[in-house]
Structure 1
Amino acid sequence: MAAPRWDLGPAREPLGLIRALQGFFSVFAFATLGGFQGSVSFHLSCAGSPNISVSAPFAYPFRLNLATFTPSLTALCNRTWARDVHLVGDFSSSAQFFVVVAVFSFLYSLGALLLYLGYLHLYRGAGGKLPLGDFLATAAFSFLWLVASSAWAKALTDVKASVAAPLPYCHPPAVICSRDTTTPMGTLNVSVVFGFLNLILWLGSSWFVFKETNFHTPPAPSTPSTM
């Protein structure tokens, strides 16, 4: 393999600068989602008895149907609840797809940036094959960001609805259920913003990568030899 010719010039051009921004914002996209942990809690009053607090923790990847309220409701309020109560919904597919796209976007943008900085002479001298492959990959990631961000935005709306739902079988005055606290989901809103911001970055970079292909700049015709 040819030795690298390190040059920071491409990092100051749109081709390399946008790749750096893509890697930067990809990290924020999966960090704001993958690191989230929260809970929802209620106060229960059973026929005038002192309040009892129950809570259900939830976190990435948001399999809310596995989030159970503790302590077990089956032992409270004269067994009003015949079985444990869970939050509703499994949104793991959308959340995990979003994180996977973000992780692979980070890896690809980092690899492409290193290619530009060290092997730009090979990138532009490969007969258009490397720029064409780069363009196709960039277009594919643009589409993946569109799908992943849209799916996660819809899933987040459903997560909020599930967490905001009241406890079942609360019939005053025998059983009074009042919401106590719910973890704010501002970081999850930010993850959606970063998702669509990444979509814009990848769509924008596709134009600058396209300019490197032979479709935009055809190779110069060869000069006919004289006899």
Structure 2
Amino acid sequence: MMTGFRLNLSPLKEPLGFVKLVEWLTAILAFGSCGGFSGSNTVSFFCSDGRNETLNANFHYPFRISQVPLIEGNSTICNHSVTTTHLVGDSASSAEFFVAIAVICFLYSMVALLVYLGYMHVYKDSDFGPIFDFVVTAILVFLWLVCSSAWAKGLQNVKDATDTEGISDTLPLCKGSNITCEVTQFANMRTLNISVVFGFLNMFVWAGNAWFVYKETRWHSPKFTSQPVHGRQQIPAPI
């Protein structure tokens, strides 16, 4: 059997190859919309004497919110001394897990496309290739479900930590005084919301692709080897 590279673009016209190309693109959109995020919320302090003061709450991937200094050093806000204060929360594990799965799927999709377009004759003639492809695809479907759910919860934690209520709970200055604390300008988190959508979209795309990969395995279409059966030739009895 010839095992050399044979470029053949026809698999892209079939669901097996076309869906893999879609997976490659959606994986890029998933980790790209999450991994490069950086934003800032503007917190306004309305003092009892009528003055207004502001500060910025900056945060970015991987969203180790507890390491983000809301106030650095000893500062004075509305004539009140405030020590170094950090935001509360940490969504780094869910964000990094989400991006890691997206990158793994991006790389696996490229390798699978290379096999489909150049070594499909080897892929179809072996049992190992389709079975390995199906098992990996099924595992990645499950991982997309887990990481997308975890990141959706992690993103909500980021929003809660950086909104008015979260910052008011973090700063003692905002409790029991005549100072009103309010987030007056929010960072645009549209790309983060999109990343969650693409996470679950990837899960459905990979789940659909699992069926087409399964059809290539011997579990769906057993390969029979037919061997010629040589029967004994009957010699007609003499009359």
Q: TM-score, normalised by structure 2?
A: 0.87
Aligned counterparts of 2:67 and 2:111: Cα–Cα separation in 1: 38
- Please state how far the C-alpha of 1:191 moved relative to its aligned partner: 0.4
Map 1:101-120 to 2 at 5 A: 101-120=101-120
Aligned to 1:155: 154
Aligned counterparts of 2:59 and 2:111: Cα–Cα separation in 1: 35
Contact 2:57 2:162 in 1 (8 A): no
Contact 2:40 2:58 in 1 (8 A): yes
- Please state how far the C-alpha of 1:203 moved relative to its aligned partner: 0.3
- Please state how far the C-alpha of 1:10 moved relative to its aligned partner: 0.2
- Please state how far the C-alpha of 1:115 moved relative to its aligned partner: 0.3
- Please state how far the C-alpha of 1:41 moved relative to its aligned partner: 1.6
**Residue identity opposite 2:18 in structure 1:** L
Aligned to 1:218: 222
Aligned counterparts of 2:49 and 2:73: Cα–Cα separation in 1: 20
Aligned counterparts of 1:172 and 1:72: Cα–Cα separation in 2: 22
**Residue identity opposite 1:152 in structure 2:** W
Aligned counterparts of 1:166 and 1:99: Cα–Cα separation in 2: 27
Tell me whether 41-50 or 84-93 shows the greater mean CA deviation: 41-50
What is the RMSD of the two structures over their aligned residues, measured on CA atoms?
1.9
Aligned counterparts of 1:176 and 1:80: Cα–Cα separation in 2: 16
CA offset digits 1:25-50 (Å, max 9, x no partner): 00000000011111112122444263
Contact 1:61 1:92 in 2 (8 A): yes
CA offset digits 1:54-78 (Å, max 9, x no partner): 1120011001111112465633334
**Residue identity opposite 1:98 in structure 2:** F
Equivalenced residues, count: 225
Tell me whether 203-212 or 60-69 shows the greater mean CA deviation: 60-69
Q: Decide which of 182, 194, 197 is 2:198's aligned counterpart.
A: 194
CA offset digits 1:92-127 (Å, max 9, x no partner): 00000000000000000111011001000000112x
Overall identity of the aligned pairs, in %? 43
Contact 1:6 1:117 in 2 (8 A): yes
Aligned to 1:21: 22
Q: Secondary structure at the match of 1:124?
A: helix
Q: Where does the alignment leave 5 or more consecutive residues of structure 1 unmatched?
A: none
Aligned to 2:209: 205
Aligned counterparts of 1:77 and 1:221: Cα–Cα separation in 2: 85
Q: TM-score, normalised by structure 1?
A: 0.92
Aligned to 2:49: 48
Larger Rg: 1 or 2?
Answer: 2
- Please state how far the C-alpha of 1:131 moved relative to its aligned partner: 0.4
- For the pair 1:63 / 2:64, whether they are aligned, the reply is yes
Structure 1: 4+ residue segments shifted above 6 A: none
